[in-house]
Structure 1
Amino acid sequence: MTITSLSVRIPAELRAKLKVQAEHNKHSMNAEIIKRLEESFIHQTEPTSSVSKKTTAGNVELPAADVNRIRKVLKKAAKELKKKAD
């Protein structure tokens, strides 16, 4: 993967929001921006037919991208709970 730099102008309020979220997620603003951009492309490329649906057993099927996002959130929550418990 080739890394390149990009200079952008954004409103100060948006920059402040990015900074708060980056600190909350314990990573740099650069990492926060990259994560958000990558997620936006994941959502964009998902086929529109990949909405959740109920199966005959009453279970709900979710698109793989949604399942992966839920896994990440749960893993992060578990780590935070473990830190608090220690």
Structure 2
Amino acid sequence: MTITSLSVRIPAALRAKLKVQAEHNNHSMNAEIIKRLEESLTSQTERIPVVNKKNNSGNVELPAADVNRLRNVLTKAAKELKKRTD
């Protein structure tokens, strides 16, 4: 994993809230921010794939692993919906 730095301007009140939460969770502010960003980019069951590129036909191409994860999530969702309608 490559680590890079990022400079961000945020309101002082938000920074204060992050600091309180980081201390509560025994995290550095950096660790708290990374944890929250990761959580916001992850669904409850599966990672939401990032669109890699569009091909000439305008369709989006995804890695096979992302396609399989999406297939599994959609299959589970369809089964849940079927249970609810039966």
Q: CA RMSD in A?
A: 2.6
Q: Give the structure with higher Rg (CA).
A: 2
Q: Which aligned pairs between 1:1-80 and structure 2 lie closer than 5 A? A: 1-43=1-43, 45=48
Bigger relative contact order (CA 8 A; separation at least 6) = 2
- Range with bigger deviation, 15-24 or 41-50: 41-50
Report percent identity of matched pairs: 72
Question: Given the two structures, how large is their TM-score scaled by the length of structure 2?
Answer: 0.52
Question: Given the two structures, how large is their TM-score scaled by the length of structure 1?
Answer: 0.52
The gaps in structure 2 that reach 5 residues or longer are 50-69
Higher helix share: 1
Aligned residue pairs, count: 54
Q: Deviations over 1:6-65 (max 9, x none)?
A: 0000000000000000000001000000000000010272968567x5xx8xxxxxxxxx
The gaps in structure 1 that reach 5 residues or longer are 57-86
